[in-house]
Amino acid sequence: MVFTSFVYVAFLLLVLVLYFTVPGSAQRGLLLVASYLFYAYWKPQYLVMLLGITTVDYVAALRIEAAPNSVAKRCWLALSIVANLGLLFFYKYYDFLATQFNIVSGWGGWGGSLPLLDLLIPLGISFHTFQSISYTVDVYRGACRAERNYLNLALFISFFPQLVAGPIERASHLLPQLVRVNRFDLDCCMSGALLVAYGMFKKLVLADNLAVLVEQYFTAEGYGGGALSLIAVYAFAFQIYFDFSGYTDIARGSGRMLRIEMIENFRSPYLSTSVREFWRRWHISLTDWFREFVYKPLLRQGFGRSMCVVVVFALSGLWHGANWTFLIWGLLNAVFYFAMKDDQKITHLAEEGGDVAAASRGMAAVRCFLTFNMICVTWVFFRAADVFEALRVLWSIATMGGSMGAGVARVVGEHPSRLAIILGALCLDSSLELWWPRYAWIDALTARKSWPYWIAFACLAYVSLLLGQLGAEQFIYFQF
């Protein structure tokens, strides 16, 4: 069930009405049934997998809490981690590793080969396995209590707004909101609805229109080739941002309408003045997960900070997909992470919303430009089908086959109306982020409960329907 479909809108409205109509004790059951129906809409048989991993983590957490000694605790924790990562490995990485083994076997003349299973990756498996692992590790550490009610834990793992692509939530934050009785709140409903409309706008109008340019020009050759590829790389940088942040807005807005608040996942990442800052603003829940469950444990084991950073970025790359391109993407981020340190003064003032001197603003602009282009280099590998395609695109840009003017002229000539839509929408979104950061405009409009709110909501909905690419593109992160 795609978030930008009319089916999802109808589903959400039905859940919303039923959720605040049924008795409080039945709310959790309703949400769980709705979440399983949401997942089954895609592929019903994979519900068995979701139930299986929920059962393993439920039992493991209870046994961890009741274990008489640390050895027993570690054994039960290991069971949970192996079950979750084993499932992730089987569906997502087996075919990739089997293919690499068969290639090496052919080179070495060993004669053996592994069968390829061609498995369909379960929807959202990378997200819900990480969320499940965070739960059992938190129980092991004593950061939260093991959940005694199986249905409560099942809802935490499968909650439909964030099941497919996050944000990756911690049990201490999300679980109490799911198990309490929630009463209808007009402010939450209006704020959530506007956030959903804004997410739809980002996805349908911006991301999906940009996707057309990326698809056509990413590997462009001949007349204006290098310039076209550069334009496509920049277009993809914004496409993936609006695609993923649009999904997150819809997820958070859906939860907010149910009075369930999820964590922020993006914070104007392309305004970052270093790659380090970028990763504090981009996919925040994944960054926090790797920091808490990979970086810090490795650091406590005596690994150097630099080594920990490299391992985290390498694993983050592989988490995104079973392809060498994702590993290179992660390692390139590590290289750029070390290449430019944070400017502490700029970072502090920017985060606090303070005034920055003209010289500092100029330096911040330069650093922002450099950071954005570093990130764009990494996006080439993220988008490319294989390493050779990525290198061809980078070589085409470096040698700049065709002038930039010719490239721009071709894009304008072939997509005049689409470019007008994209530029207009970009101006609107940039204005909102610069003048009302962190969605303050949504809170301001909701608080007034007057005609500006309804105009904003109606305009977002109308523009999305009129100018959006309805049903054209799946969310990028659904493949992970």
Which sign does the torsion angle of CA 218, 224, 227, 231 carry? negative
Amino acid at 284: I
The residue whose two tokens read 């390493």 is 387
Rounded to 5°, the CA angle 90-93-97 comes to 115
Measure Cα distances from 118 to 58, 74, 94, 475 in Å: 30, 34, 9, 22
Tokens encoding 392: 């061809």
The answer to whether residues 178 and 255 touch, using CB atoms and an 8 Å cutoff, is no
> Can you read off the two tokens belonging to residue 129?
């396995």
**Maximum separation of any 2 CA atoms in the chain, in Å:** 74
List helix spans (H) across 273-403. 275-281, 284-290, 296-300, 305-320, 324-339, 344-352, 358-383, 387-399
Instruction: Name, in order, each residue with C-beta under 8 angstroms of 443's C-beta and a sequence gap of 6 or more.
Output: 191
Please check whether residue 162 is in contact with residue 175, taking contact to mean a CB–CB distance below 8 angstroms.
no
223 touches 410 (CB < 8 A): yes
Of the residues 128, 173, 283, 320, which is catalytic?
320
Contact 121, 90 (CB under 8 A): no
Q: Number of C-alpha atoms within 13 angstroms, CB side, residue 467?
A: 24
348 catalytically annotated: no
Please tell me the total number of residues recorded for the chain in this structure: 480
Q: Where are the beta strands (DSSP E) in 116-201?
A: none
Nearest residue to 478 via CA among 240, 287, 261 = 240
What percent of the residues of the chain are helix, what percent strand, and what percent coil, each to the nearest 5?
75, 0, 25
Catalytic residues, by residue number, are 320
